[in-house]
Structure 1
Amino acid sequence: MASGRTPLLRVAPDAVLLADEPLFRGDVRDLLDEVDRRRGTGRTLVTTPNVDQVLVLRNDEAARRAHARADLRTVDGLPIVALARLLGDHTVRRVTGADLLVACSAASAERGWRIVVTGGAPGTAVRAAERLRTQHPGADIQDVPFPDLTGGEDGGMVVERLRAIRPDVVFLCLGSPKQEAWFLRWEDALPDAVYVGAGAAVDFAAGARRRAPVLVQRLGLEWSWRLLQEPRRLAHRYLVRGPAFLLVVARSLLAARERRPDRA
């Protein structure tokens, strides 16, 4: 794991490393192929680090453990992609949990994958599964209610449902780091599947929230769209914590400059 003197993001000869762990390199089709290869081979954890989660990695031990445990780490944040490009890599692409949910739903209809969606407000996963089945006729997409753990309910009931369903891919839409912490807590009891920490993907799929227009996404301004939708919840994340990413950028660029051969 990256030390205080090691930049959070750096480009190695054969990998792009975030906190010393490799990021997935490729687009959503490449990621879908990798998910296909890993189905049924064990418990695969996919994380989708965004700028806020990158900042949390600096001083949160639980977040670092989940980051190190992940099998695949796909970037959800154009600023991270842009920094990788400034460091000389053009293979890292932005692939969000919402993107992967749509792609896996299509794969369910085409290849017979069994998909589970869990998380969100009460009833959200139900609506998400219904809408995805409508959009992808023939898809096997099921919802599993997630209990209110703050009320003392046992998250083990989700494990039992998953073991009965035997899914290929499970979208844990609990928000980070809760979704990763739940996976680590119950990992040994979970059935073999690909588990994706997908945050707000269930809300987008259910129609509870609207994703930013494609142009806004491509300009890297989806954060502003989400801020307008949920100012109370997201203002601190984007307006207070977010600017600290500039320090990550500066340290990463400075470290790369110091490693250049012509400065040896």
Structure 2
Amino acid sequence: MGRDCDIDQNIKFLSLVNTPDQQALLDQVARNFASSKGFTVATLNLDHIVKLGQDDAFKTAYERHDLVVADGNPIVWLRGVMGQSVDLVPGSSLIAPIAEVAAKANVPIALVGATSQTLATAAERLEAQIPGLEVRIKIAPRFGFDPTGDEAYKIAQDLCDSEVGLCFLALGAPKQEVFAPFAADFAPKCGFVSIGAGLDFIAGTQRRAPMWVRKLALEWLWRMMTNPARLAKRYAACFRILPGLYRSAKQAKVQ
């Protein structure tokens, strides 16, 4: 009975990816901008699946997201095992393409997370890179930010009052994924996109893996080598759940 429950849960987690590729995501975002309809975007990876199995609040928030893409080669591979092909869509690679859609639609954007200096530099570089883009508001929450607390409520209200139509969240998991649907209730015309360290990459405060490393599907190893104290335990947990996810994915295809 327990094994069946685990299989069902794993299949449910893998099935959270409901947007097959970047173009499908951008097309939907453009439609939402045109109708002034808010949305939430999450990028599923193995670390998220570990957290989904441990944190009910994270699970509940994740299930409220409108658009979920596959951020991680293992997710792409496992969905292939299920017979459901999806493309790799890293969250950090979504910033410029979605910002370009916003600029074309004359939708002002917000940046929330990271540090004030990172936000300032990222905003300057994005506006220089993308003609017509307006970064209207930049908010660096205080240390220990509660994604459903008083500060979160104030930020959500600020976003609504500023009439931004897009907000990139660089709060890290699980905070950004919990904050997104929370804030969407108060700013229903705003789209929320969780992008992790994406703004740090743009600002140059963190360095992303070179393209050749990404093409070899070794970005996780690059990241772990740059910060083993923080990431070694995380990736170990990810590797531990892979066999069970693979068995579940094979079972899903049989069904």
Letter of the aligned partner of 1:190 in structure 2? Answer: A
* Equivalent in 83, 86, 107 of residue 88 of structure 1: 83
Contact 2:14 2:75 in 1 (8 A): no
Q: Which runs of 5+ in 1 are unaligned?
A: 10-16, 260-264
For residues 170 and 98 of structure 2, the distance between their equivalents in structure 1, rounded to whole angstroms, comes to 15
What is residue 13 of structure 1 aligned with on the other side?
none
Q: How far has the Cα of 1:85 moved from its partner?
A: 1.6
Contact 2:43 2:194 in 1 (8 A): yes
Task: Answer yes or no: is 1:167 the counterpart of 2:169.
Answer: no
On the 8 A contact 2:136/2:164 being kept in 1, the answer is no
Q: Are the counterparts in 2 of residues 129 and 143 from structure 1 also a CA contact under 8 Å?
A: no
Q: What is the match of residue 187 of structure 2?
A: 190
Residues 47, 196 of structure 1: 8 Å contact kept: yes
Aligned residue number for residue 249 of structure 1: 245
For the 8 Å contact 2:82–2:253, the answer to whether it is kept is: no
Q: Which amino acid aligns with 2:151?
A: D
Contact conserved, 2:17 with 2:69, CA < 8 A, in 1? Answer: no
Whichever residue aligns with residue 245 of structure 2, its letter is V
Residue 47 of structure 1: aligned partner: 42
Among the aligned pairs, what percent are the same residue?
Answer: 32
Which protein has the bigger helix share? 2
**Cα 1:123–1:4, aligned 2, differ >3 Å: closer, same or farther?**
same
Matched residue, 1:99:
93
Kept after mapping to 1: 8 A contact 2:184/2:190: no
One-letter amino acid of the counterpart of residue 204, structure 2: G
The answer for the alignment partner of 2:174 in structure 1 is 177
Distance 1:200 1:127 in 2: 14
In structure 2, C-alpha distance between the alignment counterparts of 1:250 and 1:100, rounded to whole Å: 27
User: Within 1, Cα distance between the matches of 2:92 and 2:107?
Assistant: 17
The amino acid that maps onto 1:246 is L
Partner-residue secondary structure (3-state), 1:148? coil
TM-score by length of 1: 0.84
Q: Distance in 2 between matches of 1:230 and 1:177?
A: 19
Q: Check conservation: 1:119, 1:146, Cα contact below 8 A.
A: yes
2 CA distance for matches of 1:216 and 1:177?
26
Counterpart pick for 1:231 among 223, 228, 235: 228
Superposed, which structure 2 residues align to 1:7-86 within 5 Å?
A: 8-9=10-11, 18=13, 20-26=15-21, 28-39=22-33, 40-86=35-81
How big is the alpha-carbon RMSD for the aligned residues of Structure 1 and Structure 2?
A: 2.4
Q: Aligned-pair distance for 1:171?
A: 0.7
Determine the C-alpha separation between the residues in 2 that align with 1:178 and 1:123.
20
1:6 alignment partner in structure 2: 8
Give 2:122's aligned residue.
128
CA distance in 1, matches of 2:224, 2:32: 35
Q: Are 1:139 and 2:141 matched, yes or no?
A: no
Deviation at 1:185, TM superposition (A): 3.7
Distance 1:228 1:75 in 2: 23
CA shift for structure 1 position 48:
0.7
8 Å CA contact 2:81, 2:246 repeated in 1:
no
SS in 2 for 1:154: helix
**Following the alignment from structure 2 to structure 1, what is the Cα–Cα distance between the partners of residues 15 and 68?**
12
Map Cα deviations across residues 220-251 of structure 1 (whole Å, 9 max, x no partner): 1111111122222212111x212113223332
Moved more, 49-58 or 155-164: 155-164
Aligned residue pairs total: 248
**Unmatched segments (≥5 aa) in structure 2:** none
Q: TM-score, normalised by structure 2?
A: 0.86
Of 115-124 and 182-191, more deviation after overlay is shown by: 182-191
Distance 1:224 1:22, change over 3 A: closer
